[in-house]
Amino acid sequence: MAATPLVDQFARRISYLRLSVIDRCDLRCSYCMPERMTFLPKAEVLSLEELHKLALGFIARGITKLRLTGGEPLVRRDMIELVRALGRKLGDGLEELTLTTNGTQLAGLAGDLFEAGVRRINVSLDTRDRETFARLTRRDMLPQVLEGIEAARAAGLKVKLNTVALKGVNEAEIPDLMHWAHDKGMELTLIEVMPLGEVEEDRFDHYLPLSTVRESLEQRFTLAPSGHRTGGPARYFDVEQTGGRLGLITPLTNNFCDGCNRIRVTATGQLFACLGGREQVDLRAALRSDQPEANLAAAIDEAMRIKPLRHSFAIDRPGAEPALPRHMSMTGG
């Protein structure tokens, strides 16, 4: 693949790839997917060798940050082998290799991740209340997640918690969750629920604007805007009372698309130029063609041409259909 940097039609430099390795997950978070989720046939999912080849191609085109996602990436068999292979590119084009996980498998894999070169991970955790966790995820696995977080910290991994703010579910718990995270030296990032895929509940009922959360927190805490950046969409604040850092990801109330530096590739090799758009190119077809390098280069160039300026997410009325039919687990977190 030609080593031409990735720049979209709006002159945004694309340096961050979120690569999904699997659409399957061992939790069933109610805002993310239905209980009886239909997952992809395994034959449609890229092999580890294909994922590795794709990643190397993107690194050659200037991707410096690579995040492995799912579904739940750590439920994929031999996932650590892929992490080890990609870790060998650190310092050779790749600046950071990380992943987002629900934490259920971390206890047994945290040490392997660190040895492979991972230094920072995101763990999705919406509550520390076991009953709420079981109701929200439809699985009673909070003890495994908390054990995994401790194992990750013990292994030397820097942990950032991602929490979806949900009205009437974990709204009241957010201050305590922030205190707990900061006491352990972890950052906390709050995320607005995203309208992707059909689920049993109406997302309008639980949509909690982070502007409202911030106003509530500022009645108890001093939040000072921080210049800290990780390459993602979060805006950060230093919390005076805890000494920690709080991130806010606001796809609905404060659009952050102007500075977008990201693309997503699904476990089936579909490149989505925007999380909230339908624009996509088929990298799997290119990868399995008779001229994979040339066709991959052409497909990626096409993605740069079709990447939109911004998404159009909205949760503004009860009963509205999701912005897109595909679920987050299919797109890649």
**From the annotation, which residues make up the binding site for GTP?**
18, 67, 100, 160, 262-264
Separation of alpha carbons 113 and 164, rounded Å: 25
Q: Report the pLDDT averaged over residues 81-97.
A: 97
Q: For residue 33, which of 124, 137, 139, 165 has the smallest C-alpha distance? A: 137
- CA-CA distance, 21 to 286, in Å (whole number)? 18
Report all structural domains of the chain as residue ranges with CATH numbers, in order of start: 16-331 (3.20.20.70)
CA-to-CA distance for 216 and 280, rounded, in angstroms? 39
Give yes or no for residue 201 having a pLDDT over 70.
no
For residue 315, pLDDT over 90 is answered with no
Q: Is the pLDDT of residue 261 over 70?
A: yes
Binding residues: 18, 25, 29, 31-32, 67, 71, 100, 124, 160, 194, 257, 260, 262-264, 274
Is it the case that residue 293 has pLDDT exceeding 60?
A: yes
Residue ranges of the binding site for [4Fe-4S] cluster: 25, 29, 32, 257, 260, 274
Q: Whole-number mean pLDDT of the chain?
A: 87
pLDDT, mean of residues 4-27: 93
Burial class (CB in 10 A: 0-12, 13-18, 19+), 77: exposed
Tokens coding 125:
């955790």
155 by Cβ neighbours in 10 Å (0-12 / 13-18 / 19+) ranks as middle
Q: Which residues are annotated as a binding site for S-adenosyl-L-methionine?
A: 31, 71, 124, 194
Q: Is the pLDDT of residue 277 over 70?
A: no
pLDDT of residue 322: 42
212, β-bridge pairs? none
Considering 105-109, 164-168, 246-250, the range whose residues carry the highest mean pLDDT is 105-109
Band (279; pLDDT cuts 50, 70, 90) = confident
What does the pLDDT look like over 56-70, one tens digit per residue?
999 999 999 999 999
pLDDT tens digits, one per residue of 95-125 = 999 999 999 999 999 999 999 999 999 999 9
Cis omega (within 30 of 0) for bond into 57: no
* Predicted pLDDT at 242: 97
Confidence of residue 250 (pLDDT cuts 50, 70, 90): confident
Confidence of residue 197 (pLDDT cuts 50, 70, 90): very low
Task: Report the C-alpha gap between 232 and 44 in whole angstroms.
Answer: 29
Cα dist. 79→76, 218, 236 in Å?
5, 41, 31
| 201 vs 205: CA distance, rounded Å | 8
- The phi, psi pair for 68, rounded to 5°, reads -90, 130
Please state, as a whole number, how many other Cβ atoms lie within 10 Å of the Cβ of residue 30: 18
Q: Please tell me the predicted confidence (pLDDT) of residue 200.
A: 46
Predicted confidence at residue 204, as pLDDT, reads 57
User: Can you give the pLDDT at residue 332?
Assistant: 57
Query: In this predicted model, which residue has the larger pLDDT, 238 or 326?
Result: 238
Span 126-130, average pLDDT:
97
Rounded (10°) CA dihedral 106, 247, 238, 220 = -100
Count other Cβ atoms within 10 Å, centred on residue 195. Answer: 22
**Contact status, residue 279 vs residue 302, Cβ threshold 8 Å:** no
Lowest-pLDDT choice from 80-84, 152-156, 272-276: 272-276
Indicate the pairing of strand 96-101 with strand 65-69: parallel
Q: What is the mean pLDDT of residues 140-156?
A: 98
Q: Where are the beta strands (DSSP E) in 217-319?
A: 223-225, 235-239, 244-249, 262-265, 270-272, 280-282
The answer for residues whose C-beta is within 8 angstroms of residue 157's C-beta and 6 or more apart is 110, 113, 114, 118, 119, 120, 121
Q: What is d(CA 333, CA 328) in angstroms, rounded to the nearest whole number? A: 6
Please answer whether residues 141 and 27 qualify as being in contact, where contact means their C-beta atoms are separated by less than 8 angstroms: yes
Assess whether pLDDT exceeds 90 at residue 54: yes
Higher pLDDT, residue 276 or 71 = 71
